[in-house]
Amino acid sequence: MEMLDGHPIFTKEMKETHTILIPTMLPIQFRLLISVFESYGYKCELLENESRNVVDEGLKNVHNDTCYPALLVIGQFMDALKSGKYDPNRVALMLPQTGGGCRASNYIYLLRKALKDTFPQVPVISLNFVGLESDPRNGWKMTMPMIIKAIFSIIYGDMLQTLYNQCRSYELVKGSSKKMLGKWIKIMEKELRKGNFTNTKKYYRSMLRDFATIERSAVPRIRVGIVGEIYIKYSPLGNNHLEDFLISEGCEPVVPSMLEFILYWSYNKVNEAKLYGTRTAATPLYNMIYKMFLAKQHEVIDVMKEHGVFVPPHDFTHLLASVRQYISLGVNMGEGWLIAAEMGALAENGTENIICTQPFGCLPNHIIAKGMSRAVKERYPNANIIAIDYDPGATRVNQENRIKLMLANARMAD
């Protein structure tokens, strides 16, 4: 077995023999992402184990001062390996990493430490776009075509997430939105595996046309924006199925797209070079990625406006222009200025009820989210913003009661 610094490496030979387990974060987008990886010959599986045992395994293997997403991701991996469902000699674990200053960049070392005594033969793969874990023996390679295709899978997943949430809150036939979502996930999985993914307008229009056929109530719902730390914002495991809870309360969840975070990340790479004089050979590449996918976001917005039935996402360039009134674009630790930008954009566009989801003790989120909510409220006095902390000791009942109180205030305002 190939080893590096005492831990096993995912080798080229393992591509034929091993299944790569991927943690839950974006259920729709990650299913499409897996189809991209499979088109390059990798075998992947999205984990769906969500029992209390996931949290317990996390607490056993990660110090409870470490942030909640790390505890959940590592707990989900350990729970899966101990379940008996997988052969530890034929699985690898994949951990997404941004490469930023957040503790998320250190999760991989915590995971390897957790594996050392019980599953020392299990390799861990870093999913990143910044050259981490770039040992030449590594059998996992993110080429530029693969990266581009992966981001396209996120774009399509974002569209499906947006349409799904805008339909299931109003559907007259229970389950019709989920059925339509399942149909389109299968279509896009097939297209991405075949490499047919660049004719975006064709797919957008077909998705919009199909979702528009779902019978929906005309009775308005309270729209509730969800912002915050990336894992807790998107992961049903991390936020206790927040979107489902809001729908059960008669609300429409409004979740910013993952593409928005990708644009934030790539823009920051270019902006940092300007602010600190750190331009490198990779800077033009980040600028190219930013411009390419900004154009793709504008395409989504234009097609949705043209269709006229569903509400498009907010324009990233508008976020850049408006957030400067709250905070500097140099504040980019973790989700940085993006949280304030998303809160402001939601309030500006009529989604005045906003839940900021954050792991307890996540310093960037506490400072930037809680710290900036007052500035957003000063500009938009009707903004109804609540910060919800998630950690192993926070009860779901307490979180939901606080959200119910926020919704009661929203209904009184109406």
Structure tokens at 148: 């581009």
**Residue 388: pLDDT above 90?**
yes
**Residue 141: pLDDT above 90?**
no
Q: Specify the CATH number for 3-141; select among 3.40.50, 3.30.70, 2.60.120, 3.90.320.
A: 3.40.50
Give pLDDT, residue 131. 65
* Cβ–Cβ under 8 Å, residues 242 and 406: no
| β-pair partners for 21 | 45, 93
Q: What are phi and psi of 10, to 5 degrees?
A: -75, 105
**Residue 3: pLDDT above 90?**
no
Give pLDDT, residue 103. 63
C-alpha to C-alpha distance for 273 and 293, rounded to whole angstroms: 20
**Residue 6: pLDDT above 90?**
no
Give pLDDT, residue 104. 63
Question: Which three-class secondary structure state does DSSP give residue 172?
Answer: coil
**Residue 56: pLDDT above 90?**
yes
* Cβ–Cβ under 8 Å, residues 22 and 44: yes
C-alpha to C-alpha distance for 43 and 94, rounded to whole angstroms: 12
Tens digit of each residue's pLDDT (9 = 90 or more) over 319-358: 998 898 889 999 888 888 999 999 999 999 999 999 999 9
Task: Enumerate the CATH 3.40.50 domain ranges in the chain, comma separated.
Answer: 3-141, 220-256+314-414
- Average pLDDT of the chain is 91
| % the chain with pLDDT above 90 | 73
Mean pLDDT of 304-315: 96
Give pLDDT, residue 291. 95
Question: Which three-class secondary structure state does DSSP give residue 171?
Answer: strand
User: Quick one: which of 174, 254, 156, 159 has its CA closest to 214?
Assistant: 174
Separation in Å, CA 31 to CA 26, 36, 90, 157, 208: 8, 9, 21, 8, 20
Least confident of 6-20, 66-80, 118-132, 379-393: 118-132
Output Rg (C-alpha) for the chain, integer angstroms. Answer: 21
CB neighbour burial string for 190-203, b if at least 16 within 10 angstroms, e if fewer: ebbbeeebeebeeb
244, 245, 247, 249 alpha-carbon torsion, rounded to 10°: 170
Q: What are phi and psi of 78, to 5 degrees?
A: -65, -40
Tens digit of each residue's pLDDT (9 = 90 or more) over 160-204: 999 999 999 999 999 999 999 999 999 999 999 988 888 999 999
Could you please state the CATH topology (level 3) that the domain comprising 220-256+314-414 is classified under. Answer: Rossmann fold (3.40.50)
* Cβ–Cβ under 8 Å, residues 128 and 95: no
